[in-house]
Chain A
């Protein structure tokens, strides 16, 4: 197996998070779209199902994927549209990881207690 350096890992993570987010988006549009069946439709039952803890952990992963994919996307834009981007791509990738963690920690502090507490 070819093991590249940071750029290879940056690409692999961008690909995996991208595919996961696109599939999540399709599901998300479908289930929120159920709102059009009105208050007595399937919407509330569907959402209550998704509010169980395994799916809430899934949502944390979705948020982590969004943050990484968005920030690494900025790195790609900088690499593509500036003359100096490629020279600093490795450093920028570590910056992306640090920023993802930095944004992720306050989210965990807010969300994990909610999950542990159970009901809203």
Chain B
């Protein structure tokens, strides 16, 4: 076993490669899983039904099923990581100036993090059944 790095510089030289290797493996594993997750997601929401019929009622009905929430959570997590890392690869390939790279990545990670939180909230923090029932009751004077 190699000696442990003793300085930040050594640690960077040692761990950068492992980190990148981990991402490299992750892109392949998540990519493989996403093929099934995304194809089925598109089939059920875009092909099996006319996507123009998708509205609040449809999404609320879907999101009141536990398995849909779990399914969409896996999709959200894997797709956000896979997509964000892919965009990071692209930024690092096409932007050479360190400052530009830093800011582009800072914006990307902030945006992706925020949207991940929005996604998790939309999936788990609300009871769509209750919301629909409450609104229907109010609008029908019940």
Binding site for B on A (CB under 8 A): 15, 18-19, 21-23, 25-26, 29-30, 32-36, 38-41, 43-44, 47-48, 51, 56, 59, 63, 66-67, 70-71, 73-74, 76-77, 80-81, 107, 110-111, 114, 119-120
**Chain B: minimal CB distance from A47 (Å):** 6
**Chain A: minimal CB distance from B136 (Å):** 8
Contact assessment for B55 and A47 in the assembled complex, using a CB-CB cutoff below 8 Å: yes
Taking a contact as CB atoms closer than 8 A, the residue among B38, B39, B53, B76 that contacts A29 in the complex is B76
8 contacts between A and B (CB under 8 A): A18-B86, A22-B83, A25-B80, A26-B83, A33-B121, A35-B59, A38-B135, A59-B46
Number of residue pairs spanning A and B whose beta carbons lie under 8 angstroms apart: 111
Docked CA distance A63–B41 (Å): 11
- Which bracket fits the contact residues of B? 35 or more
Binding site for A on B (CB under 8 A): 28, 31-32, 34-35, 38-39, 42, 46-47, 50-57, 59-60, 63, 76, 79-80, 83-84, 86-87, 90, 111-112, 115-116, 118-119, 121-122, 125-126, 128, 131-132, 135
